[in-house]
Structure formats: structure tokens, C-alpha cells
Amino acid sequence: MPTRYLTADEVRDAERASGDLLANGTLMRRAAHGVAQAVVGELNRTGGCYGRSVGVVVGAGDNGGDALFAAAELARRGVAAHAVLLAADKAHPAGLRAFRAAGGRVDDALPAGLDAVIDGVVGIGGRGPLRPAAAAVFAGLDPETIVVAVDLPSGVDADTGEVHTPSVRADVTVTFGFPRRAHLLAAPRCGRVVVIDIGIGDPVEPAVRQLISYSDAEIDWPVPGPADDKYTQGVVGVIAGSHRYPGAAILASGAAVTATSGMTRYVGSAHAEVVSHFPEVVAAPDLADAGRVQAWVVGPGMGTDAAATALLRTVLDSDLPVLVDADALTIVSNEPGLVAGRAAPTLLTPHAGEFARLTGSEVGADRVSAVADLAARWGVTVLLKGRITLVADPSGRV
């Protein structure tokens, strides 16, 4: 099932909609219990809880409150709990009282040899890198100390996933209700993400709606029926490769075959090489001889000269869906009018460098906004490649 990822504002809206659960502290107590249980789980992997030692780095506000209540619960289970208050006058009052009442100690610095540390510096509202005092605490941790972040590793932007320097690298991140965008976009920094149900209601439909896994895509993948033929299953035309790059033609045609289109046609100079690798492909050297095509893939290895530009223009002048990749993207970057506002479905598939050529600027830290903006401005679908691939439709929805 697709997983939804929320922005910081969407999380706040969902929390506010929880009403009394937020006002009376129920959400915080449930969140703190979830954090404590995550720490217990980590300690149990290496010998149990009793007699172990845990530190908590406490910032101002509710994130620090979650951490203090969690540390208080751990202290009641026989864990030696130590806290560093980064802003003592702004520490969560009830959380600090509970921590001290459970036997927790407030120190100027965390002792060496801690088994785990809870990052309660900032949550989804944090912006920018760790401040020097917090950075010094985390820099002084033993390498083997387990770091458990509350909601989000401090120093990581909740919405863009930008990892500032310095920032916390968590082994486990405990979050509440729904995962945040940064848990996907900055996954290596978050470690294992644990989502705790604390009673937050469903949010409004978020802009970045869901993570699609291979199994999710498989559910909607078209399966040929008993009455289908090659035309009802779709005929894909591929324009790719050149005398210099015949391999691009082979790879692109092979991808179309593997994607189970009903029929694959190839147009280009590498027609002999394509057929030698995929004899089921119907190949021709010229577009005029292509035959019936229902959607086009254009660009890989085709070159960017006048002939390639003319070929791309002819395909884009049709009323067929077109996937524009590689060299075709370079051509489009010089002539955006080829695709902008095109009536038929158009998919651009740039990597970061190609995206920069298309837009005239680097993708930047906020990849989600960047891809949404280009898709909406040009009225096309944009698939931005990367460790996390983002897809924005012509409305700008990602």
C-alpha cells in the first residue's frame, strides 16, 4: 500500500485537529512512551535495560518535552538517565519535573560511555544546522552510542530533507502518526524510521501524497486479457541511438520490450544492432517507415544536431504521448516551446544536470518544489531521477 509523507504544516494541522488529545498532553505522553519503547528495543538487543545509561539532549519546546518524558520512563525502568538542557529556561516544565522525579540527572555535559542518546533538540519546526552547543554534545558521543531521534534528526529540514552541517545522524528515528517528507528524502540520516500511532487523525490530502513501491506499481500494471492484441496492449516507438552510441538504442528498445508493451518499433541508425539483440522489435532506419505507433520514447544517444532536432520536432508535433529523455532533453532546454503547453501527454525524465539545463538553475535542496514548479509551468509530467525519484504531474502535484 502506498505510504503518505507529510509536510511540517500538514503534521501541525493533523495535531490541531486532535483537539483535547493535544491540549491535555495525551499526544505528548503517547509520543514519549513510543520513544522510550524504541530505546528499550535497542537496549534489549545488547543485554537489556536495567543498569544501562541513556543521555537526552533537550531543546526548547515540545520536542524536548517528548524526550524528557521518554527519559523519565526509562529511569523508572532502572536506566541511568542524564540530560543536557540546551535552553534551561525554555525546557518543557512538566517534562523536566517528571524527569527529575524519576531520578534523572541534569548535567552540563553528557558522560562518556552512554548506551544510547535521545535527540530532543528540535523537531519538525527546526531550520538550519545544529547550533554550536548542540553540535558539541553530539560530536562528543562515543561512536558506538545509539542515537534515537524524536520525530526527525536535528539539523535535517522536515520538508526538503536538506541535511545541514552539522546535523544529527540517527540510528533510529521515532515519529508519530505519519512519516514526514524528510524520512524519505533524507533516509540515510534518519536510520530506521519507527512510526507510532498516538491518535492523530488523518490529514488532508498532502501535496506529496505517497511513496510508490514496486509492489504498488505491480498492482496497477496492465495484464493482457484474452481478447487483447498487440495494439490494445500498446505500440511503443523508440527513437534512440546513433552510429556513435548504438548501445543506447539497444537499451531503450530492450526496456520497451521488457515493459510488456504489445509491440515495440525502433527508428534510427542502429536498427540492425537492435534487431540482433531483440528480434521481436520491428525496426526501420527512417521515421517515414516506422508504421503505427501509439506512444514515443525519444532521446537516448540520438545526438543534438539539426537532424535530431528536426526528428524530435516531428514527433512532438503529433498528438501522441511522448517520453523525452537524454539528448532530447538537451534539445528541449534550448527550445522549451517544443514541449511547454503541449496538449498530448508529455513526460520529461531528467537527472539533476539535465534538470538544471532545462530550468537554468540547480535543483537545490528543495527537490519537491523544484520538480513541481517545472511541471506546472510547462504543463508536462516531470520525472526527476535520483536516489529518490520524484514525479510531478502537469498540475504540480508530486
Residues 117 and 256 reside in one and the same domain: no
Lowest mean per-residue pLDDT among 79-88, 96-105, 117-126, 298-307: 117-126
Residue 203 lies in a domain: no
Q: What is the pLDDT at residue 127?
A: 87
Same domain? For 119 and 163 the reply is: yes
Residue 272 maps to a domain: yes
In the chain, the percentage of residues whose pLDDT exceeds 90 is: 80
Note whether 6 and 14 are within 8 A (CB). Answer: yes
Per-residue pLDDT of 19-68, as tens digits, reads 666 667 888 999 999 999 999 999 999 989 999 999 999 999 899 999 99
Examine the domain organization and report whether 228 and 175 are in the same domain.
no
Q: Do 15 and 137 belong to one domain?
A: yes
Query: Which of 196, 231, 259 is the C-terminal boundary of a domain?
Result: 196
Helices 352-359 and 327-334, packing angle to 10 deg: 20
d(CA 112, CA 206): 43
Calpha distance 166→272 (Å, rounded): 54
Domain-located, residue 381: no
Cβ contact 145:116 at 8 Å:
yes
Name the pLDDT band for 215 (thresholds 50, 70, 90): confident
Residue 293's pLDDT is 97
Structural domain for 232, as ranges: 222-349
Q: Per residue in 259-278, pLDDT tens?
A: 888 999 999 999 999 999 99
Task: Identify whether residues 156 and 44 lie together within a single domain.
Answer: yes
In a domain? residue 216: no
Lowest mean pLDDT across 226-230, 334-338, 373-377: 226-230
**Number of structural domains the chain divides into:** 2
pLDDT for the residue 39: 98
Residue 184 to residue 398: CA distance in whole angstroms: 14
Q: Is residue 379 part of a domain?
A: no
**Could you tell me the end-to-end alpha-carbon distance of the chain, in angstroms, rounded to an integer?**
17
In terms of domains, do 253 and 332 share one?
Answer: yes
Provide the 10 A C-beta neighbour count for residue 48: 12
Higher pLDDT, 174 or 388: 174
Helix (H) / strand (E) element for 239: namely strand 235-239
Q: Report if residue 332 sits inside a domain.
A: yes
> H or E stretch including 176?
strand 172-176
The pLDDT value given to residue 325? 99
pTM, 2 dp: 0.86
What does the alpha-carbon distance between residue 122 and residue 131 come to, in Å, rounded to a whole number?
A: 11
Whether residues 49 and 86 share a domain: the answer is yes
Q: Per-residue pLDDT for 76 more than 60?
A: yes
Residue that finishes a domain, picked among 333, 349, 365: 349
- Does 363 fall in a domain? no
Same domain? For 170 and 227 the reply is no
What pLDDT does 375 receive? 97
**CATH number, domain containing residue 333:** 3.40.1190.20
At residue 125, does pLDDT exceed 80? yes
pLDDT given for residue 288 in this prediction: 95
Give yes or no for residue 131 having a pLDDT over 70.
yes
pLDDT tens sequence across 135-175: 999 999 999 999 999 999 999 999 999 999 999 999 999 99
From 326, 349, 372, give the residue that closes a domain.
349
Residue 243 lies in a domain: yes
String of DSSP letters for 32-81: HHHHHHHHHHHHHTTT-STT-EEEEEE-SSHHHHHHHHHHHHHHHTT-EE
Q: Taking the CA atoms of 324, 328, 329 and 333 in sequence, report the sign of the dihedral they define.
A: negative
- 130 and 171 in a single domain? The answer is yes
Same-domain status, 191 and 236: no
Query: Residue 18: what pLDDT?
Result: 73
CATH of the domain at 136: 3.40.50.10260
- Looking at the fold, whether 105 and 23 belong to one and the same domain comes out as yes
pLDDT tens digits for range 312-371:
999 999 999 999 999 999 999 999 999 999 999 999 999 999 999 999 999 999 999 999
pLDDT in tens, 282-310: 999 999 999 999 999 999 999 999 999 99
* The predicted structure's pLDDT at residue 99: 98
Q: Same structural domain for residues 126 and 23?
A: yes
**Residue matched to cell numbers 514526514:** 180
pLDDT at 200: 84
More confident residue, 222 or 163: 163
